[in-house]
Chain A
Amino acid sequence: MGNRADMRTTAPRVLLALVLLVGPPLLAGCAPGTPDAGAWRADASRATGDVRSEVATVGLALRRHDDLFDSYLQTMVVDAEEAAGAAAEKLSAVQPPTAELERHEEVTSTLDDAASLLSEVRIAVVRHEPLTPYVGRLTATADELDGLEQRLRRPAG
């Protein structure tokens, strides 16, 4: 509440502090800067984790597809495919630091593979094709992504 004279002098100061606090990060967000290796690892392991979660979701749904309505299964698979695609795309737009160039290549291609596996599953689900063959592939992919995520938490080399 405070009295009016106080408000008048503090308000601009608070505003200035806000601008100084929020401004630089906003400006930095405008140009594609090169993140340091740590930031890249955080981004990469987060994206890998997200895709792994989507692959695991579809795996679970396929194992249980007798318990699900067709429309329910379809919706889940489509959602997972979209989310995985978005995560993979977001990471591929990150400028990799020199030290991590090699792994960047590896991660993006693994994520792309996972996303296209989900697309294959979606096609099979919508066409009512047999789904059992995909269960094993999904489990294997999820395990691969899990291993990759663990490795990405440590620096390269």
Chain B
Amino acid sequence: MGLRGSYDAALHLLDRQIVDSDDLMVAKVDDVALSPDLEIVGLLCGPAVLLPRLGGRLGPKVKDFWERMAPEQADRSTPCFIPVDAIAEVGSEVRLNRVRQHLLVRHEPPGHRLGDLLGLPVRGGGRSLGRVIDVRVREGRRVDGLVVGRGGPGSLLGYDRRRDQGPWLVGAVVRWRHRHTGYVGRADVLSIDWGHGVEVSVAGLGDLPPTT
């Protein structure tokens, strides 16, 4: 099992290169499949998940356009799926434990996409706390809590992990932009209304716990 420790899924997993056991490239991690109780079950790739992530008004439009290019294909909006037990290691690339021949099959397990969770507005105690900008994962695959703030998914760029990460100028700007960014533990999440928002039981955000 390649997914270990605690990490931020948007920063460490999303958009990484997938490489097979022969060092040949397979695809990008275009999205991550989550089970209904928010556990990582695999990687998703292909236009069906990449295009919606373009975001704004562009995303849905190009996805719609892409599906209409071949309306006879029933599985066109289904991405390709790589199960989590195919992952050997996650570093600067996601390494698989098998070869790429006939690897990708169109399939999407029941549950949710990480990309759909990112960007959702978060409300707590009757006021807006920001948006989900990353998802903290613990023990390799269990969603432990949400990183909430202003800005796009992954916009912390990893500058929350250590104070001395340079260059000073970029670090200072990113930390200033994210001065209101904080953390909501899984236990404090009341409900997730997919496509609309997240309701939490706390009125303020906690500090980001360190990753390992």
Contact = CB atoms under 8 A, between A and B. Distances in A.
Contacts of A3: 131, 150
Q: Looking at chain B's contact residues, is the secondary structure mostly helix, strand, loop, or mixed?
A: loop
B150 A4 contact: no
B170 to A, nearest CB: 15
Contacts of B57: 8
Interface in B144-163: 150-152, 155
A4 B56 contact: yes
Nearest to B155: A1
Nearest to B177: A1
B147 to A, nearest CB: 15
B55 interface: yes
Interface in A1-35: 1, 3-4, 7-8
A64 to B, nearest CB: 52
A64 B163 CA distance: 66
A7 B119 CA distance: 14
B82 to A, nearest CB: 29
Contacts of B119: 4
A7 B56 contact: yes
A4 B132 CA distance: 13
Contacts of B155: 1
A7 B131 CA distance: 15
Nearest to B151: A1
A129 to B, nearest CB: 63
A82 B108 CA distance: 63
Contacts of B151: 1
Contacts of A8: 56-57
A7 B59 CA distance: 13
A7 B54 CA distance: 14
B117 to A, nearest CB: 15
A7 B58 CA distance: 11
Contacts of A1: 151-152, 155
A6 to B, nearest CB: 10
Contacts of B56: 4, 7-8
Contacts of B131: 3
A120 to B, nearest CB: 59
A3 B151 CA distance: 7
Contacts of A7: 56
A98 B155 CA distance: 61
A1 B55 CA distance: 11
A83 B131 CA distance: 59
Nearest to A4: B56
Interface of A: 1, 3-4, 7-8
11 contacts: A1-B151, A1-B152, A1-B155, A3-B131, A3-B150, A4-B55, A4-B56, A4-B119, A7-B56, A8-B56, A8-B57
